[in-house]
Structure 1
């Protein structure tokens, strides 16, 4: 019984460490670009950039806590954006476009879950295959062309251009998804079952949890988040494209790992994942403001991921008898 307060305390310490890292990055920004980094417009830019991958990160957190992995999130988001903008060319309205994006994302995620749970395909292979297939379908539907959101569907674009209290509406959508994800993970039976399935699937099965059905739902939830992210990316870029979401799966997985979620499942938090995401977003922003090479940015991100995994392994080793 004493283990759970200790785990909670460890999570709080990790969150404080992530906040400290963000503060350190902010100090670097103030030191290198004081005239631009701390401006209101730049802070809004950081939040807007974080919104798209952030929504995907919420779904990824559930999947990884549940003991899985999803490499197809970027391709699913691209497919949802292309499908929705294809409907737009047929003069369907913004409501139909949004519903289409959500249904495509959720449906594709459910296919992942069915392949993994009932087809017994390894999550890495199943989602890798879906990444390739969804990306190919998006290219075929769009004929490798960028599809514009039509003027009569400007309500979608308003999510990016419209502001409340000076903050873009997409940021509020992001915040709402984070809040809903936190409640679902921490205050519902679904969340408790997610931890149980990720921690020990066999024990969860013996305890009466339908592990296969729950796994399907986890991937469906991840797909739903991809559909929401597709709406956000359409609002921000006014386009649907098969190139949307390139490497988003790696950014989402990296944010979840940095946030303290174990790749083996059974442990993690939404707050940690979002803090990890903000760290990566601020790093990207600092590289852009300082005119640094994109290749160097990718190298830095890779090193951070390796260090985070090594720290996880060290932490697990220190708790081993």
Structure 2
């Protein structure tokens, strides 16, 4: 009788590579290639801008504008990356930004100065994220439905608060953050906040147990539960994180626009999801990258700027974005099938 010999396993319990053959490192390699590809696309866009509109596109003020515009949606995208990696979705981010911005710019809130506006924006974002998280994690509501309901409710409440009017900010400290005198070595404060959020998001995602649990929940919730992860609590935390990012983005938008409006954050959910997808995060969950999402935001913002400088129609711009999203999804499917 032939005795069955189990293949040798390494210290992690996985089957060890045969002698003389290097262990597979396909995932890190693919991640590096994806990042380099996104950097290449961004470099090509910069080259196109330099060739078609060299004086306008490469002007320091225009580059500062591109980075500033990327900052608001970029902060939202960092939170969206965590949610989608966990296998969820958040369609309410734009509406939460709108509600946070109008709540933070009421006369009563502005009477407390910059700190009051910042605190109100972040608390409203956290509150909305808490409602989403409780409904999804403990109420068993599908993320698509729960966040769609939040989208409608937050937009409606924002309209009720403003009565359709623009709430102008009169707090000098807030307005000063948008002035050139506040730039640090030529970098707008909003860009510095975005960079700080992106770095914090990267560290949280790649260097903490929270990030590993997020990936585990997105890859296989049942296996994560059997491994001792509180899946419901983790999902609650993720939507709280998304809401916090929306609150921070609302404050940046207040600084940028100098006002709060119920129309703020329009279609942010689509822009954030698109940036996350082309960045390499799987819509089905289980794999994500903050670096890729940031590059995705920069790519889309640069495309928008190029279209504006070349006087191209908005509908052509939307078609181009749609084509990029479809191409990114097809690349994801091909990569997943060969994994």
The TM-score normalised by the length of structure 1 is 0.96
2:76: which partner in 1? 56
More helix by share: 1
Matches within 5 A, 1:28-177: 28-88=48-108, 91-150=111-170, 153-161=171-179, 162-177=182-197
Are the equivalent residues in 1 in contact too, given 2:122–2:247 (CA < 8 A)?
Answer: yes
Within the candidate set 229, 237, 249, 1:229 is matched to 249
Are the equivalent residues in 1 in contact too, given 2:110–2:117 (CA < 8 A)?
Answer: no
Deviations 1:72-113 (A, max 9, x none): 000000000000101556622221111010000011011101
1:264: which partner in 2? 284
Deviations 1:116-159 (A, max 9, x none): 11111111111011001100000001111110111xx2212222
Task: Determine the C-alpha separation between the residues in 2 that align with 1:88 and 1:164.
Answer: 31
Q: Flag the structure with larger Rg.
A: 2
Q: CA deviation at 1:167?
A: 1.2
Query: What is the total number of aligned residue pairs between the two structures?
Result: 317
C-alpha RMSD of matched pairs (Å): 1.3
Within the candidate set 200, 205, 223, 1:185 is matched to 205
Task: Determine the C-alpha separation between the residues in 2 that align with 1:4 and 1:39.
Answer: 45
Task: Determine the C-alpha separation between the residues in 1 that align with 2:307 and 2:194.
Answer: 24
1:317: which partner in 2? 337
| 1:89 to 1:275, Cα distance in 2 relative to 1, 3 A | closer
Task: Determine the C-alpha separation between the residues in 2 that align with 1:128 and 1:297.
Answer: 26
1:215: which partner in 2? 235
Task: Determine the C-alpha separation between the residues in 2 that align with 1:225 and 1:90.
Answer: 21
Question: Counterpart of 1:296 in 2: which secondary structure?
Answer: helix
Are the equivalent residues in 2 in contact too, given 1:88–1:97 (CA < 8 A)?
Answer: no
Task: Determine the C-alpha separation between the residues in 1 that align with 2:24 and 2:159.
Answer: 48
Verify: 1:301 aligned to 2:321, yes or no: yes
Is there any run of 5+ residues in structure 1 with no aligned partner, and where? none
Are the equivalent residues in 1 in contact too, given 2:104–2:110 (CA < 8 A)?
Answer: no
| 1:88 to 1:33, Cα distance in 2 relative to 1, 3 A | farther
Runs of 4+ in 1 over 4 A off after TM superposition: 1-4, 87-90
Task: Determine the C-alpha separation between the residues in 1 that align with 2:110 and 2:117.
Answer: 11
Are the equivalent residues in 2 in contact too, given 1:88–1:149 (CA < 8 A)?
Answer: no
Q: CA deviation at 1:314?
A: 1.7
Are the equivalent residues in 2 in contact too, given 1:67–1:199 (CA < 8 A)?
Answer: yes
Question: Counterpart of 1:35 in 2: which secondary structure?
Answer: helix
Task: Determine the C-alpha separation between the residues in 1 that align with 2:129 and 2:222.
Answer: 24
Is there any run of 5+ residues in structure 2 with no aligned partner, and where? 1-13, 18-22
Within the candidate set 40, 62, 66, 1:20 is matched to 40
